Structure 1
């Protein structure tokens, strides 16, 4: 790997002390333009057919996109026929502008306008390459010749738009490979196009500044955008559009900084699909705005449905760790993360009207159609809090905090031995086997008790038990059935045991709900164990919890 054959990025905006973007914040959503059906589609190993593109187009409409690039109709019969189909079948709503891309060549421009016949609103996007590399290596043309190509293309758009007066056209121009173009020269080319189109504040044109190849850090791109925005004439007659790729992995960052630098519009794709490393991910950008309390302007509350349609139509897959949309982004395997999330969710129950503020969850999963049940998942990296959360959220067992480490230990043992993630049902099975109505050397056969009003130890209990297979009859007194039973046990075999803690609650609601009791005992050696009892009677559940705890020593 010879790094010396590469050189640093050349086209910095020199001495640009007037930059203001570092001190700004984004306060509203940009104009979004989906280019999935062109830029994304052309990058697929198997491009979408017409019927598939219609499914995808309908999804984009449902998401609220008002500008949708539908293809390159002059270059592909499939894209031409698709555009005619959605127009003739009335699938293009009156408030949606379909966008087509064309090179600055007359026969391609003519066919593009022909494909748009009958649509109410359209954006015609013409481009030509302006970068040093493209001028010298690909086209072998001078700066003057490149400017003339742009000017001629702009004039052709005026010519053909006049032939279709029923359509409201917006014109867009891209100095392709803007990031590889000298800023002053990119400005010169765009001014030449403006001179032909003569935009006004009422009839704006779009100037798109594409990072066709991402070549520098996002701050450099922001400088270029702000410098351009400050120097383009009649700024109020121009929408500055951004079209970033992700070659350096900073497409979203570059686009966000470009918005701070004055850009008005974003072209991108869902999940960042596109050539090489892809385009900017519109969904991520929109959700980033959402997390800052800004209306993103598109609807993503059904993220799983969007993922499903996207994967079915494109044949691509959304990574499990993809921001906001991946299967695992609202889950936690780490024990410390699980504990923090559990506490954050519990705290919200007391203040649901507050702003969202849960550790490790930048958004409420419910806002994108996800459910809480899958937030915490258990593997060998998980901890005590995660097991407690699953037992409560999935099965209704509200373990005392002191019990969390003890409940997590047998689960941890299984995950360490298997190396696998455990499903909630498997976790519950381990918990039941280890703690709930645990069998062993002590067995409760039956019991009865009676109350004695006015006495300090007002409950008297009689019980039949089996201890190591031997049947015993015990008697005890206490202020309740639980303490009376425990005293009876102490008289026959467990005199060195101490009763430490007791908690109980209903499992579910209604008169027929089961009760769960949690009791912690300590033996003469200082070893402590919890036991759990369940029964339709809280007294029986509590006595069963004592038996379970003893059977765990």
Structure 2
């Protein structure tokens, strides 16, 4: 059921930007847009044009800047006036895409919209039909059923809502996990059922949030039940705990043999720049881009690392630093958790050859120093000085 082509649709400029404590300026958005183009994502959602005049102008500027053939989307609520404004903002793109969102879950219908299911279907039909009438037959319309992930209680109605959107002119059905509440396979099975329900009448897209920390897993697994597009964000930006992380998603798919259009060596420099633009630091343990992910301190790990360091597949490494545009390397550090191999490796890196007996002695001395001084790391420079001292006066 896996699709032949997987599309990576980025929503940083809309979903990511709207959640920032200080939303980006026009010039900053242009820079982010250009970073996305350099990454070669398959499509870009540039904003929410009907929300304010500044957003409208920005979406217009970015749409005109878009490369030929690159789908440029913008979000609109299911409102004819807003749909018209949205189309006015993005119509100058070579490949504009109208994106309409409306709630489909039982909870949202009863407690937020406070209307009947029949009225929901009428709203979907009228808004999508209107959008099709103004965008013409050659451009894409994406319909998002907001809170799809929470639509378990009224799932048969949800299927009907999506068929209504398709019949009215939508050719992409977006399935959002607007708030992550359940384990990934519950959502994935819902995606599978929608895929079987609509067949090949429309593309299936996934848009997951990371409230429980499982957005990437949910999105990646959805591909294997028929989702053709994944909506992602740079640095995992987005409301609350953020959206599906672009870097984690594309690396996970790549590691599983999927072919993507992404320029992988642009990942790390892009992540660093986005961190600068948002003021949100990258955690040292953050997958793909964290400072510490190529560091090894455990003795068992260090042994495997030294034996596989120059191989494509590392004993304790998923991918090479240079693959994602990093210039650092796998590093070995000495703490009281490290083994003899760390000392041998670090000294050899400095051109110092010592016997096994001497390494054993250095190991004991370094461990003792670390333990006595609050288990601190012993630096490479300290190990070199210790080795010279011990080898000279032993």
1:512-551 to 2 correspondence within 5 Å? 551=393
What is the aligned-residue RMSD (CA, Å)?
A: 2.1
Q: Does 1:229 align with 2:200?
A: no
SS in 1 for 2:100: strand
Give the unaligned 5+ runs of structure 1.
1-20, 200-204, 439-550
Q: Give, in whole Å, the separation in 2 of the partners of 1:326 and 1:29.
A: 29
Give the Å deviation of 1:431.
Answer: 2.4
Give the Å deviation of 1:377.
Answer: 2.0
Give the Å deviation of 1:308.
Answer: 1.4
Q: Write out per-residue CA displacement over residues 81-101 of structure 1, whole angstroms, 9 at most, x where no aligned residue.
A: 21222344xx31002111100
Q: Write out per-residue CA displacement over residues 416-453 of structure 1, whole angstroms, 9 at most, x where no aligned residue.
A: 23343344333323323332xx1xxxxxxxxxxxxxxx
Q: Does 1:57 align with 2:36?
A: no
Asked if 2 retains the 8 angstrom alpha-carbon contact of 1:211 and 1:245, the reply is yes
| Aligned twin of 2:100 | 126
Q: Write out per-residue CA displacement over residues 390-440 of structure 1, whole angstroms, 9 at most, x where no aligned residue.
A: 2223x12244445432232333233223343344333323323332xx1xx
Q: Give, in whole Å, the separation in 1 of the partners of 2:203 and 2:357.
A: 61
Q: Write out per-residue CA displacement over residues 152-204 of structure 1, whole angstroms, 9 at most, x where no aligned residue.
A: 11012022214xx9xx521000111012222211111111111121x7xxxxx
1:299-314 to 2 correspondence within 5 Å? 299-314=263-278
Asked if 1 retains the 8 angstrom alpha-carbon contact of 2:63 and 2:72, the reply is no
| Aligned twin of 2:347 | 391
Q: Does 1:217 align with 2:173?
A: no
Question: Larger % of strand: which?
Answer: 1
**Aligned match of 1:170 in 140, 160, 177?**
140
Higher relative CO (Cα under 8 Å, sequence separation at least 6) belongs to 2
Give the Å deviation of 1:29.
Answer: 6.1
Deviates more, 1:417-426 or 1:118-127: 417-426
Give the unaligned 5+ runs of structure 2.
none
> CA, structure 1 residues 62+400, in 2 after alignment: closer, same or farther (shift >3 Å)?
farther
Q: Give, in whole Å, the separation in 1 of the partners of 2:14 and 2:77.
A: 14
> CA, structure 1 residues 330+150, in 2 after alignment: closer, same or farther (shift >3 Å)?
same
> CA, structure 1 residues 336+265, in 2 after alignment: closer, same or farther (shift >3 Å)?
same
Q: Give, in whole Å, the separation in 2 of the partners of 1:409 and 1:372.
A: 29
Q: Does 1:275 align with 2:231?
A: no
**Aligned match of 2:290 in 326, 333, 339?**
326
Q: Give, in whole Å, the separation in 1 of the partners of 2:337 and 2:280.
A: 30
Asked if 2 retains the 8 angstrom alpha-carbon contact of 1:28 and 1:294, the reply is no
> CA, structure 1 residues 236+27, in 2 after alignment: closer, same or farther (shift >3 Å)?
closer
Q: Does 1:241 align with 2:211?
A: no
Deviates more, 1:369-378 or 1:325-334: 369-378
| Aligned twin of 1:410 | 365
**Aligned match of 1:92 in 66, 77, 91?**
66
> CA, structure 1 residues 359+55, in 2 after alignment: closer, same or farther (shift >3 Å)?
same
Asked if 1 retains the 8 angstrom alpha-carbon contact of 2:73 and 2:90, the reply is no
Aligned length: 391
Q: Give, in whole Å, the separation in 2 of the partners of 1:376 and 1:133.
A: 52
Question: Larger % of helix: which?
Answer: 2
1:280-299 to 2 correspondence within 5 Å? 280-299=244-263
Q: Write out per-residue CA displacement over residues 291-327 of structure 1, whole angstroms, 9 at most, x where no aligned residue.
A: 2343333122244312211101222122111111111
SS in 1 for 2:49: coil
Q: Give, in whole Å, the separation in 2 of the partners of 1:177 and 1:383.
A: 51
